[in-house]
Amino acid sequence: MDEKDLKILEVLKEHAKLSTYKIAKKTLIPVATVHNRIKKLEKEGIISQ
């Protein structure tokens, strides 16, 4: 887990239902990266849908 993952998790903690686009906008991380990181975090069991 790196800084990008932590930024995404921080946003999800506060706003669990945000779209990938809005998470990307809040974290300044590209949408595709946010999407891939969320999928990775789900696969690792760190988050669930």
* pLDDT recorded at residue 40: 97
Q: Is residue 36 part of a domain?
A: yes
* pLDDT recorded at residue 49: 81
Say what the pTM is.
0.90
The CATH number linked to 35 is: 1.10.10.10
Q: How far is CA 4 from CA 7, 16, 46, in A?
A: 5, 17, 14
Q: How far is CA 8 from CA 45, 46, in A?
A: 15, 12
Q: Is residue 49 part of a domain?
A: no
Residue-wise pLDDT tens for the chain (49 aa)?
A: 999 999 999 999 999 999 999 999 999 999 999 999 999 999 999 999 8
Residue ranges making up the domain that contains 13: 3-43
Q: Is residue 11 part of a domain?
A: yes
Q: Tell me how many domains the chain contains.
A: 1
Q: Is residue 9 part of a domain?
A: yes
Q: Is residue 48 part of a domain?
A: no
Q: Is residue 25 part of a domain?
A: yes
